[in-house]
Amino acid sequence: MGAVAEATRENFDELVESGTTLVDVWGPECRPCLALKPHVEKLAEARDDISVVMLEAPKARRVCIRLKVHGLPTFLLMHDGEEVARLSASTISPAELKTWLDKSLGEMTEEVS
Protein backbone atom coordinates (compact mmCIF):
# COMPACT_ATOMS: atom_id res chain seq x y z
CA MET A 1 0.00 0.00 0.00
CA GLY A 2 2.17 2.82 1.29
CA ALA A 3 0.10 5.83 0.32
CA VAL A 4 -2.51 7.50 2.47
CA ALA A 5 -5.80 8.09 0.65
CA GLU A 6 -7.69 11.32 1.23
CA ALA A 7 -11.32 10.48 1.92
CA THR A 8 -14.17 12.83 1.10
CA ARG A 9 -17.89 12.54 1.72
CA GLU A 10 -18.20 11.42 -1.91
CA ASN A 11 -15.63 8.59 -1.86
CA PHE A 12 -15.52 7.48 1.82
CA ASP A 13 -17.80 4.43 1.48
CA GLU A 14 -15.94 3.28 -1.63
CA LEU A 15 -12.55 3.56 0.15
CA VAL A 16 -13.62 1.44 3.14
CA GLU A 17 -15.99 -1.06 1.48
CA SER A 18 -13.49 -3.88 1.08
CA GLY A 19 -10.51 -5.09 3.05
CA THR A 20 -9.15 -3.65 6.29
CA THR A 21 -8.86 0.12 6.54
CA LEU A 22 -7.52 2.45 9.21
CA VAL A 23 -9.50 5.69 9.10
CA ASP A 24 -7.87 8.76 10.64
CA VAL A 25 -10.60 11.33 11.34
CA TRP A 26 -8.82 14.64 11.82
CA GLY A 27 -9.24 18.39 11.66
CA PRO A 28 -6.92 21.20 10.57
CA GLU A 29 -7.42 23.00 13.91
CA CYS A 30 -6.68 19.84 15.95
CA ARG A 31 -3.10 19.99 17.25
CA PRO A 32 -3.01 16.30 18.37
CA CYS A 33 -4.28 15.33 14.88
CA LEU A 34 -1.53 17.30 13.18
CA ALA A 35 1.10 15.89 15.54
CA LEU A 36 0.02 12.31 14.72
CA LYS A 37 -0.15 12.81 10.94
CA PRO A 38 3.52 11.89 10.21
CA HIS A 39 3.15 8.76 12.35
CA VAL A 40 0.00 7.74 10.49
CA GLU A 41 1.88 8.18 7.22
CA LYS A 42 4.72 5.98 8.55
CA LEU A 43 2.17 3.31 9.54
CA ALA A 44 0.75 3.41 6.02
CA GLU A 45 4.22 2.90 4.55
CA ALA A 46 5.13 0.11 6.98
CA ARG A 47 1.94 -1.97 6.76
CA ASP A 48 0.76 -3.74 3.66
CA ASP A 49 -2.08 -5.56 5.45
CA ILE A 50 -4.22 -2.43 5.77
CA SER A 51 -5.06 0.64 3.75
CA VAL A 52 -4.98 4.03 5.46
CA VAL A 53 -7.53 6.76 4.81
CA MET A 54 -7.59 10.28 6.21
CA LEU A 55 -10.99 11.93 6.61
CA GLU A 56 -11.00 15.69 7.27
CA ALA A 57 -13.91 16.07 9.69
CA PRO A 58 -14.96 19.67 8.85
CA LYS A 59 -15.30 18.74 5.17
CA ALA A 60 -17.27 15.53 5.87
CA ARG A 61 -19.62 16.38 8.73
CA ARG A 62 -22.40 14.03 7.60
CA VAL A 63 -19.99 11.10 7.39
CA CYS A 64 -18.74 11.94 10.90
CA ILE A 65 -22.30 12.12 12.23
CA ARG A 66 -23.12 8.75 10.63
CA LEU A 67 -19.98 7.25 12.18
CA LYS A 68 -20.79 8.87 15.56
CA VAL A 69 -17.45 10.67 15.75
CA HIS A 70 -17.69 13.09 18.66
CA GLY A 71 -14.09 14.18 19.16
CA LEU A 72 -10.76 14.42 17.42
CA PRO A 73 -8.54 12.68 16.79
CA THR A 74 -10.54 9.51 16.20
CA PHE A 75 -9.18 6.37 14.58
CA LEU A 76 -11.54 3.75 13.20
CA LEU A 77 -10.49 0.29 12.13
CA MET A 78 -12.92 -0.91 9.49
CA HIS A 79 -13.25 -4.26 7.77
CA ASP A 80 -15.38 -4.55 4.63
CA GLY A 81 -17.14 -1.29 5.48
CA GLU A 82 -17.97 -2.16 9.10
CA GLU A 83 -16.30 -0.60 12.13
CA VAL A 84 -14.46 -3.21 14.22
CA ALA A 85 -12.49 -0.97 16.61
CA ARG A 86 -12.22 2.68 17.64
CA LEU A 87 -9.63 4.83 19.39
CA SER A 88 -10.65 8.35 20.32
CA ALA A 89 -8.92 10.63 22.81
CA SER A 90 -7.50 14.13 22.86
CA THR A 91 -4.09 12.72 23.77
CA ILE A 92 -2.99 9.71 21.74
CA SER A 93 0.72 9.01 21.51
CA PRO A 94 2.21 7.37 18.43
CA ALA A 95 3.05 4.34 20.61
CA GLU A 96 -0.56 4.10 21.84
CA LEU A 97 -1.83 4.26 18.27
CA LYS A 98 0.51 1.47 17.14
CA THR A 99 -0.31 -0.71 20.17
CA TRP A 100 -4.06 -0.22 19.64
CA LEU A 101 -3.76 -1.02 15.93
CA ASP A 102 -1.66 -4.16 16.52
CA LYS A 103 -4.06 -5.38 19.25
CA SER A 104 -7.17 -4.66 17.16
CA LEU A 105 -5.75 -6.39 14.08
CA GLY A 106 -4.76 -9.36 16.26
CA GLU A 107 -8.28 -9.63 17.66
CA MET A 108 -9.73 -9.44 14.15
CA THR A 109 -7.48 -12.28 13.00
CA GLU A 110 -8.49 -14.42 15.99
CA GLU A 111 -12.20 -13.92 15.21
CA VAL A 112 -11.70 -15.07 11.61
CA SER A 113 -9.77 -18.23 12.48
Q: What is the pLDDT of residues 43-76, one digit of tens each?
A: 999 999 999 999 999 999 999 999 999 999 999 9
What is the residue extent of each domain of the chain?
4-112
Mean pLDDT for the chain overall: 94
Gap between the Cα atoms of 104 and 39, Å rounded: 18
For 4-112, give the CATH class.
alpha beta
The more confident residue out of 112 and 19 is 19
* 27 CB-contact burial (10 Å; exposed 0-12 / middle 13-18 / buried 19+): middle
pTM of the model: 0.95
Rounded distance, CA 2 to CA 50, Å? 9
Q: What pLDDT is recorded for position 108?
A: 85
Q: State the pairing for strand pair 4-7/20-26.
A: unpaired
